[in-house]
Amino acid sequence: MKLGFPAVDEDHERLLALAAEVELLIASASRVHKIRAKFHELVEHALAHFSREEAYMAACQYPDLAVHKSEHAELTEWLLHIEQALAEDGPNAGTAATDQTIAFFRAWIGRHLTSFDTAAVQFILAASRLHPA
């Protein structure tokens, strides 16, 4: 789903591509270190994306920045929790990342894109038309 702001759209595509890569590793019963590494990449990209998006919103004084940030913070907390669980060794190593984990992530992103990000990008684009760089 493209929102019309290429920098943000590319970030979202990459996020979903990384989720698909994690899913593939889980489905093919890959070794836990591979799943950990790919999940880490997903977390890093999500965190970088959230801060980029928040910077765009802040730059145009987006009025709903605080609530949007708290949405990002909630998913960040969940991602870090999964990553931590995934790092644990022992007989259950790697079981924190399942197809349900990825389904939850995808559903969250889908919901966030059609609500929070759509509204934010519309505001950013309107602001950039009013005040071209």
Binding flag, residue 23, Fe ion (CB under 5 A): no
Neighbours of 101 (CB within 10 A): 21
Name the minimum Å distance from CB 27 to Fe ion.
26
Tokens of 125: 């684009």
Give whichever of 13 and 88 is closer to Fe ion, judged by the CB atom.
Answer: 13
23 vs 65: CA distance, rounded Å: 31
Among all residues, whose Cβ is closest to Fe ion?
117
Among 57, 97, 101, 117, binds Fe ion (CB under 5 A): 117
Tell which positions 29-88 bind Fe ion, by CB under 5 A.
53
Amino acid sitting at position 70: S
* Interface ranges with Fe ion (CB under 5 A): 53, 117
